[in-house]
Chain A
Amino acid sequence: MLKQTEGSKAVAEAIALCRPEVICAYPISPQTHIVEALGEMVKSGKLTPCEFINVESEFAAMSVAIGASAAGARAYTATASQGLLFMAEAVYNASGLGLPIVMTVANRAIGAPINIWNDHSDSLSQRDSGWMQLFAETNQEALDLHIQAFRLAEELSMPIMVCMDGFILTHAFERVDMPTQQQVDDYLPPFEPRQVLDPAEPVSIGAMVGPEAFMEVRYLAHAKQMQALELIPQLAAEFKETFGRDSGGLVRSYCIEDAETVIIAMGSILGTIKDVVDEMREAGHKIGVLGIISYRPFPLEQVRAALLGCQRFLVLEKSLAVGMGGIVATDVRMAVSGTGLKGFTAVAGLGGRPILKSSLHTLFRQAEKEELPPVTFLDLDWDAVNKQLEREKTTRRSGPAAENILHDKGIVSAKFG
């Protein structure tokens, strides 16, 4: 059924249709509306049977999910930013134990400086945790990916993060097509765990493994993700059969058949990029877009295949590998290694900096002409940066850098738009 609703509410409703049995909630912006909506559904009896547990930290949220999942319950939680880092130890543990927990990450920057706005630093920091990570472009896709995520997680017995841009998607009201309970039930069978804590058949889960077998166990996590590369497109195709729309998959291309320049990105920014590409196409530019939906596992082959026909690519990413450059760009370069393709990286939108169409027009034209440095920082205020660097050169006690930069920019308080 079509409805106009907030991204968080739409996702919460879709999760409820997946019949989660234990939901752990700890509030952190911009994830709050999702768990609030689920809490209300459990409390009112709309979502039953389900235990909704208000925990005392994200670390506990993931830990409760671990216990619940190991005891055979379909477990869900949501987090963002500092919360994801606070639960990091348990994040790795959940995948190490092979527990198919589904978690929404409402992507948000990581401090300091503290910042509640969107970028991809949080989930990308957990890229090696053994969790799969799927990135949603729209609220419709966020909703759909959750339904696919439970299926994928449980088939592989591995956890998944569904990543949706904080505020930009979570707080945006837009049109979504909400599936029926019957459709979701047809697509998602009840959870059949591979291992379960049961007094009838006692097992010991999570014991110590020494050097003699640790590598094999870790390799299995990798093998699972390699299986996911096969499974994700299958599940997306099956999803299309049941629900009648394209959602998910590994990558999604737009206007790349004859593209000389391909822009690569993840998440909601793909929409703005497509608008820019349409406008540039009208002006005769041969430009296209490759959206990466599955960041982990990373679809090396599919990315390589998509880029083989182009002359150059630009990875536009909302993340920064400090001391190196791009995070997603590194993976893309791995995908095209040996092809001699010219690649650029643009770091953009950190901490909620708006990524404007006008800026993208300029950036993409520069990319076309190969007039970009290897790493570009989109719309960075170099004056403010240089002033601070100069200050640090001349003054030992130069003070908090973040405060200095805001002084230099003449902004009285943090705001957006």
Chain B
Amino acid sequence: MFEVRVHGRGGQGVVTAAEMLSVAAFEEGRHAQAFPSFGSERTGAPVVAFCRISDKEIRLREPVMQPDAIIVQDPTLLHQIDVFAGLKQDGYVLLNSHHSLETLGLSELVKQRRSERFCTLPATELGLKHVGRPIPNVPLLAGFAALSGTIKLESVIMAINEKFSGKVALGNIAAAEEAYLLVQAMMKEQADA
């Protein structure tokens, strides 16, 4: 079972991100379970959502305690809550930021972990560029697909087409494709370095 935790703020599509991730996994014939942190949180408040992916039926109903991957949709949360709590030693981390991991003050953390599994992505900018809204969730999902290989980009695109239609869907697909390539390029760069 692969467990993902998504952190963000109310209004950033955190719950939608987890849901779309589960749809993408479903499209690959796998079992998936996505659920929010169940708060009555308003716009701007810290929000958490979870997604489990497995080849077997998922019966477990506890919150994700030891995630295999963490997606952070808002880097300002780094100073507010322990977004990395319970992260598995070899876990993946994808942060929405146009800054580097160093600039975000994460060098120490990355050093203790598998650094090739850490990545930042300017997802808000991608959202603005392709959809016209500062919603980072879809680019991050595509970036997550590139980073972890847990799901395919095509599956993310299928999830986009299920959730959106028309211009919004096309914009999101463009954002996803660019995000995927960006993360791939960054990973290659890091591997070459």
Quick check: do A and B touch in the complex, using CB within 8 A? yes
Which A residues have a C-beta under 8 Å from some C-beta of B?
2-4, 6, 29-30, 116-118, 167-168, 171-175, 268-272, 274-275, 352, 354-357, 414-417
* B48-A417 in contact (CB<8A): yes
Say how far A165's CB is from chain B's closest CB, in angstroms: 8
B40 contacts A by Cβ under 8 Å: yes
Docked complex: B1-44 residues within 8 A CB-CB of A? 18-19, 22-23, 25-27, 31-41
- Does B50 reach chain A (CB closer than 8 Å)? yes
Cβ-based interface call for B59 (8 A): yes
Given the known interface contacts A173-B23, A173-B32, the answer about A417 and B59 at a Cβ–Cβ threshold of 8 Å is: no
- Verify A173–B62 contact, CB threshold 8 A: no
Is B60's beta carbon under 8 Å from chain A? yes
B32 contacts A355, CB within 8 Å?
no
Find out whether the CB atom of B35 lies under 8 angstroms from the CB atom of A357: no
State the CA gap A6–B39 with chains docked (Å): 17
Which B residues lie within 8 Å of A117 (CB)?
38
A415 to B46, CA, bound (A): 10
**In the complex, which residues of chain A have a beta carbon less than 8 angstroms from the beta carbon of B128?**
none
Which residues 84-120 of B sit at the A interface, judged by CB distance below 8 A? Answer: none
Residue among B19, B41, B59, B60 with the highest chain A CB neighbour number at 10 A: B59
Q: How far, in Å, is B65 (CB) from chain A's closest CB?
A: 7
B59 x A272 contact (CB < 8 A):
yes
| Interchain CB contact under 8 A, A416 and B61 | no
Residues of B contacting A272 with CB < 8 Å? 59-62
Q: Can you give 22 contacting A-B residue pairs, CB < 8 Å?
A: A4-B23, A30-B38, A167-B38, A168-B35, A171-B38, A172-B34, A172-B35, A173-B18, A173-B32, A173-B34, A173-B35, A174-B32, A174-B34, A269-B61, A271-B59, A272-B60, A272-B62, A275-B60, A355-B61, A415-B37, A415-B39, A417-B64
Q: Report the minimal beta-carbon distance from B10 to chain A, rounded to whole angstroms.
A: 12
Output the nearest chain A residue to B21 by Cβ-Cβ distance: A173
Contact of A174 with B50 at beta-carbon distance under 8 Å, contacts A354-B63, A415-B39, A416-B38 already known = no
In this complex, what residue of A is CB-closest to B63?
Answer: A417
Residues of B within 8 A of A415 (CB): 37, 39, 41, 46
Contact A416 B39 (CB under 8 A): yes
A254 to chain B, nearest CB (A): 10
Q: Is B58's beta carbon under 8 Å from chain A? A: yes
User: Within the complex, which residue of A3, A30, A268, A414 is in contact with B61, where a contact is CB–CB below 8 Å?
Assistant: A268
Taking the closest CB of chain A, its distance from the CB of B93, in whole angstroms, is 18
- Known: A271-B60, A355-B62, A356-B62. Contact between A173 and B50, CB under 8 A? no
Closest to B5 in A: A417
Asked whether A4 lies within 8 Å of B26 as measured between CB atoms, the reply is: yes
Judged by DSSP, the binding face of B is mixed
14 extra interface residue pairs, beta carbon distance < 8 Å, beyond A2-B26, A4-B23, A416-B63: A116-B40, A118-B38, A168-B38, A171-B36, A173-B18, A173-B23, A173-B32, A174-B31, A274-B59, A275-B60, A354-B62, A355-B61, A415-B39, A417-B37
Closest beta carbon of chain B to A350's beta carbon, Å: 14
Given contacts A116-B40, A175-B32, A417-B48, contact A4 B22 (CB under 8 A): yes
Cβ of A168 and Cβ of B39 under 8 Å apart? no
Question: B36: nearest residue on chain A (CB-CB)?
Answer: A171
Q: Mark B68-91, 1 if CB is under 8 A from A, else 0.
A: 000000000000000000000000
CA distance A356 to B31 in the complex (A): 21
CB distance from B138 to the nearest CB of A (A): 16
Nearest 4 A/B pairs, CB to CB: A271-B59, A4-B26, A417-B63, A173-B34
Which chain B positions have C-beta within 8 A of A116? 38, 40
User: For the complex, what is the distance from the CA of A147 to the CA of B25, rounded to whole Å?
Assistant: 28
Closest to B38 in A: A167
The chain B residue with its CB closest to the CB of A174 is: B33
Chain A hits for B60, CB < 8 A: 271-272, 275, 357
Per the bound structure, the CA–CA distance linking A219 and B92 in Å amounts to: 61
| A131, B115: Cα distance in complex, Å | 58
Chain A residues whose CB sits within 8 angstroms of the CB of B18 once the complex forms: 173
- B40/A29 in contact, CB under 8 A: yes
CA distance A167 to B63 in the complex (A): 12
CB-CB < 8 A to B31: which residues of A? 174-175
- A175 CA / B46 CA spacing, docked (Å): 28
* A contact residues around B62 at 8 Å (CB): 272, 354-357
Among B33, B48, B64, B65, the residue within 8 A (CB) of A172 is B33
By beta carbon, the residue of chain A nearest B18 is A173
* Nearest neighbor of B19 in chain A, beta-carbon distance: A173
A357: chain B residues at CB < 8 Å are 60, 62
With beta carbons under 8 angstroms apart, the residue of A30, A118, A174 that contacts B22 is A174
Chain A residues with CB under 8 Å of B50's CB are: 417
Residues of A within 8 A of B40 (CB): 29, 116
Decide: B58 and A6 in contact? CB cutoff 8 A: no
Complex: how many Å from CA A171 to CA B27? 20
Is there an interface contact between A167 and B35, defined as CB atoms closer than 8 Å?
A: yes
Closest-CB distance, B20 to chain A (whole angstroms): 9
A4–B22 Cα distance when bound, in Å, is 7
A131 to B: closest C-beta gap in Å: 25
- Write the chain B residue with the least CB distance to A273: B59
Q: Provide the residues of chain A in CB contact with B65, threshold 8 Å.
A: 356
Provide the bound-state CA to CA distance between A118 and B38, in Å: 9
In the assembly, what is the distance between CA of A415 and CA of B18, in Å?
19
Chain A positions within 8 Å of B46 at CB level: 415
